A and B are shown apart, each in its own frame.
Chain A
C-alpha cells in the first residue's frame, strides 16, 4: 500500500527532483569509480572512460530505477503523445489516409450500433420493462394467438407468477359531432394496464374497477396528442363527452405525453371489461392480447408452466372445444423486435467486417511506415531503449491516431444516423429513438481503442526484431521489416480480400433478392389501379343493407366517371397483409385431427374486384349477382388453398369449405371459383392460402374500392374524393393511394437493408483497393533496384510484369479461396433475408469473386505499370 501511495505521489510531484537526484548520484558513482581507477594507476581520461564502460547502460539504469520508483510516468505518456502528434504532422498525407480509413470504419459501426442499441438492446420505456411479457394462448401448431376473456380472468386470479396482468384489444371508432367525421384508433384495456406500463394522467383520472365491467357508464381516456390536436388542449375537457360510433362517452382523463406502447398510433383508451365482460364461454375468441408483469425473479418459462397448469385444471373443470389450448408467454423486449432482429444482426456483422478490413488496411500501412522508421527505431534501441519501451511508444502513437479517427468517426456517425432514421422504414420499432447516447459513445470509444491496438499489433511485434547492425548501416532502405514484415503484410491483404468477398457475396445476394422481389409476379396488374380505403361510420350505416347500398351507389357513380374502366370492392388489397385468418376444412375430405386443422387467410370481395384487379380466374367463376344475400353461401378460393387439397383447381368446384374447421363454429361455403394467388403479405413473402367471401353475402363497413383507370391513377384522386363526399360527407377516407404504393411499401425494409449492405460492400471494395494498391506499390518500390538490374541485363518488360504480377495473383487467389469458404459458411445467416434465390448460390459467389478480382486487378495495375516503366539507367545511376 505504502509503496503504491508514494509512487502515486511521485508521479505527480517531485518528478524533476527525483530525476536530478538520480542523475547526480550516478555522476558521483562514476566519479568514485574514476578515482579508484586513477589510484590503480590509469591515466585520467582512460580512467573516466573505463568507469563509464564498467557502469553499463546509464539510460537504462535510470529508466529502470525510475520505473521502480513510480508507476508510469505521466510525463512519459504525454511525451509519447506529443511525439505521436508530431509524427502525424510530419507525414500528413499518410496520416490523413489512416485517420480517414479509421473514421469511416468506426463511424459506420457506431451508427449501426446506435440503431441496434435503440431497437434491440435499450430497455423498454416502462418502469419494469424487462419483466413485461406478452400473453396469449397456443395450440400444437399456433402460438401466441388471442386469449379468451374467460381464460384471462382465470389466469389473472389464479396465477402465482405475476404481479399483475392486463388484457388489451384494439378497435377503430368514428368520431362525429366535432367537425368532419374522423376515424380514431382506440385501445381497449383492462384497468390494470396503466399500472403495468406506468402511465399517469395529466388531467382527470384513470380507469377504475367500476369503469371496467359490464353495465358501467361509457368512459374514455384520451392521449396527450389527441387532447392537443382534437380537443384544442382545453383544461376543462374532463367531464365532456365524445360521440364515438354515435354513442356518447364521457372523458374521464387525459394521459401524460409519453412513448406509445403500441406499434400503431392510439388516440383513445376504452375499458375492455365493459364490452368483453359479456363473454361466457372459455372458447369465445375475440382478439384479446395479454400483458403481464412477472414477479421479480420469475422467468417467462416459469410463468408459462404456471399458466399451463391453470389451463389443464380448466380443461377438467370447464371442458370445451379448446381443451388442448395452452398458454404463450414471451418477453415484450424480444417479442416486439423478433422480426427485425436477424436483419439488424446481419447489418451489424457486415459493418464489423468493414471495420476489420479498415483495421487490416491501417495495420498494413503502419507496417510500411515502420519500415521507413526502421532507422529511427534502431537508433533508439542503440541508445538504450528497451523493447517494452519502444512498443509502448508505438502503441501510444497508434492510440493517438485511433482517437483522432474515432472522434472524426463520431461526427461521421451522427450524419449517418440522421440519414438512417430518415430513410429507415417506419415499421422498425423505436428506430427514430436512435441517438449517440452514452452507451453508444462508450461503444465507439472501446472500438477505437481496440482498433488502435489491433492495427498497431503488426508493426509493434516487428519493431523489436530490428537487426541493429544492418539497420544502422547507411543506404540500406530495406532494412527493418524484412521477411517477417512482408509476410504479415501479405497475410493482411489476403484477409482483406477474403472479408471483402464475403461482403460482396452478401450484398450481391440481397440485391438479387430485391430485384427478384420487385419483378416477382404479384398475380394482378398493380399499374393504373387506385385504392380508396373507406370506413363507414357505424352510427349511420347500421344494417348490412345500408352498407351494401352505399358501396353499390359509390361504385356506380365512380364507373360513370370518364377514364375509369372498372370498379371493384375488396376488404384487404394485395400488400395489405393479414386482415384475418381462421381455421378451415373441406367437407368432402377426411376430417383432420384437432391439432392438424389448417389455417387460411380470409378476405371479402365483390364480383367486379377480380376483373378490376385483372386477376385470372383459373376455374369456375367469379362472384355474380346470383350470389345474393340470403342465397346459398358461396366462396372463391385462391390457387394456393386449392393446391392444398386438390391436384387441379377444377376439382375444387362444387365442393364445400367449412369456415372454422370441424371443431369451431362457422358457415359452410360452396366453392364456385378458383383465382390466382396475389402478393397479399408483400412482394417478397410466401403465398398464403386465402378464400374470399362475396361482399353481397358478408358486407363489411371497411372496404377498399379498387379503381381501374386508363392512365396514371393519381389523376383520379380528386375525382374519387368528390364522389365520396357527394354521397355522404360524413364518411372518412382512410387512405387514397395507388395499388403500386401498397405493394411498394412491402419492400421498404428490404430496400433499406439492401441499400445498407450494398454501401458496406462498396466501402469494403474501396478499402481493399487502397490496401492492395499500397502493398503492391511497396513491393515495387522495394524492388526498384532489382528491376532496374534485371532490365539492364536485358529482361523484357513483360517478364518483369509477369514476375511482379505473380506475387499479386498469389495473394488474390488465396484471399478468394478463403473468402469463398467464409461466404459459403456465412450465407446461412442470410437465409431469412434472401428471396427468389437460394442463399447457397454458386453463381452469385462467382459473380462476387469476379468483382473482387476485378477491383483487385485495377488497384494492382497502377503500381505494376509503374514497375514496367522503371528507367534502368537512371535508377542505377542514382544509387
Chain B
C-alpha cells in the first residue's frame, strides 16, 4: 500500500453514522449538544472529532423524524441548555441501526482481516 493511515488524524464520519451515534449517546440519559459531542469524543477515545457544523443539522434532522425531542432544562451547574431525549420511535430506530451497523462492521472486518 502506498499510503498508510495517519493515526494522529481524527476519523471522519461516514454517511449516516453521526445520527446513529447521537441516538446512542442519548440511550441512557438526555443530553445537550455540547454534552453529546463530549460523549462521542470521549467514548471514541478521541478518534471522532465532532464538528458543530455537522452536529446541529444532524440534530435538526432527527427532530424532524421525531426520533428525538428537545426541551430546555437547567444543567447541574444551574445554566439553561436544550436537552435532547430519545423518543420510543427513536429507540426502535437505534436498535435496528445498531444491529445493522454491527453486521456491517463485522462483515468489513471479515473481508479486510480474514481469520486464517
Interface, chain A (partner B; CB < 8 A): 2-3, 6-7, 21-22, 24-26, 28-29, 31-33, 35, 55-57, 60-62, 64-65, 67-69
Q: A29-B32, A68-B57, A69-B60 are in contact. List 14 more A-B contacts (CB 8 A).
A: A2-B65, A3-B65, A6-B64, A21-B82, A24-B82, A25-B81, A25-B82, A29-B52, A32-B35, A35-B77, A55-B52, A57-B53, A65-B57, A67-B57
* B81 surroundings in chain A (CB, below 8 A): 25, 28-29, 31-32
**Which single member of A24, A32, A56 contacts B53 (CB below 8 Å)?**
A56
Nearest 8 CB-CB pairs, A to B? A68-B57, A65-B56, A68-B60, A28-B81, A32-B34, A69-B60, A61-B53, A25-B82
Residues of A within 8 A of B116 (CB): none
Main secondary structure of the interface of A (DSSP, over half): helix
* Distance between A799 CB and nearest chain B CB, rounded to angstroms: 55
Closest to B77 in A: A35
CB neighbours (8 Å) of B51 from chain A are: 56
Q: Which of B48-93 contact A (CB under 8 A)?
A: 51-54, 56-61, 64-66, 75, 77, 79-82
In the docked arrangement, what's the CA distance between A288 and B33, Å? 87
Residues on B with beta carbons closer than 8 Å to the beta carbon of A65? 56-57, 59-60
B-chain residues with CB within 8 Å of residue A7 when the two chains form the complex: 64
Is B75's CB under 8 angstroms from A32's CB? Answer: yes
How many angstroms from the CA of A7 to the CA of B75 in the assembled complex?
30
A28-B32, A32-B81 given as contacts; is B64 within 8 A of A64 (CB)? no
Q: How far is the CB of B37 from chain A (nearest CB, A)?
A: 9
Residue of B nearest to A62 (CB): B56
Choose among A7, A29, A33, A69 the residue with the greatest number of B CB atoms under 10 Å from its CB: A29
CA distance A3 to B32 in the complex (A): 23
CB pair B77–A69 under 8 Å, yes or no, is no
Q: How far is the CA of A28 from the CA of B58 in the complex (A)?
A: 18
The interface residues of chain A lying within 8 Å CB-to-CB of B58 are 68
* Chain A residues, Cβ within 8 Å of B57: 64-65, 67-69
CB distance from B18 to the nearest CB of A (A): 12
Q: Which residues of A contact B66 (CB under 8 A)?
A: 2
Closest A residue to B33 by beta carbon equals A29
CB pair A35–B79 under 8 Å, yes or no, is yes
Q: Is the CB of B79 within 8 A of A28?
A: yes
Q: B64 to A3, Cβ gap below 8 A?
A: yes
CB closest chain-B residue, reference A39: B77
- Does B53 lie within 8 Å of A33, measured CB to CB? no
Report which residue of B33, B35, B60, B65 has the largest number of chain A beta carbons within 10 angstroms of its beta carbon.
Answer: B60
**Cα separation A35 to B51 with both chains bound (whole Å):** 20
Residue of B nearest to A4 (CB): B64
Given A2-B65, A3-B65, A28–B80 Cβ distance below 8 Å?
Answer: yes
B50–chain A nearest beta-carbon distance, Å: 10
Could you tell me the distance between the alpha carbons of A68 and B57 in the complex, rounded to whole angstroms? 5
Report the nearest B residue to A7, measured CB to CB: B64
A3 CA to B79 CA in the complex, in Å? 32
Question: Which of A22, A24, A32: most chain B CB closer than 10 A?
Answer: A32
Inter-chain CA distance A60–B52, complex, in Å, is 9
Query: Least Cβ distance of A27 to chain B in Å?
Result: 9
CB-nearest residue of chain B to A69: B60
CB distance from A826 to the nearest CB of B (A): 50
Cβ contact within 8 Å between A60 and B53: yes
Q: List 19 A-B contacts (CB under 8 A).
A: A2-B66, A3-B61, A21-B82, A25-B56, A28-B34, A28-B81, A29-B33, A29-B52, A31-B81, A32-B81, A55-B52, A57-B53, A60-B53, A65-B57, A65-B60, A68-B56, A68-B60, A68-B61, A69-B60
Closest-by-CB residue of A relative to B65 is: A3
Chain B residues closer than 8 Å to A2, beta-carbon distance: 64-66
What's the Cα separation between A447 and B79 when bound, in Å?
Answer: 57
Given A6-B64, A28-B82, A61 contacting B34 (CB threshold 8 A): no
CB proximity of A64 to chain B, nearest CB, Å: 5
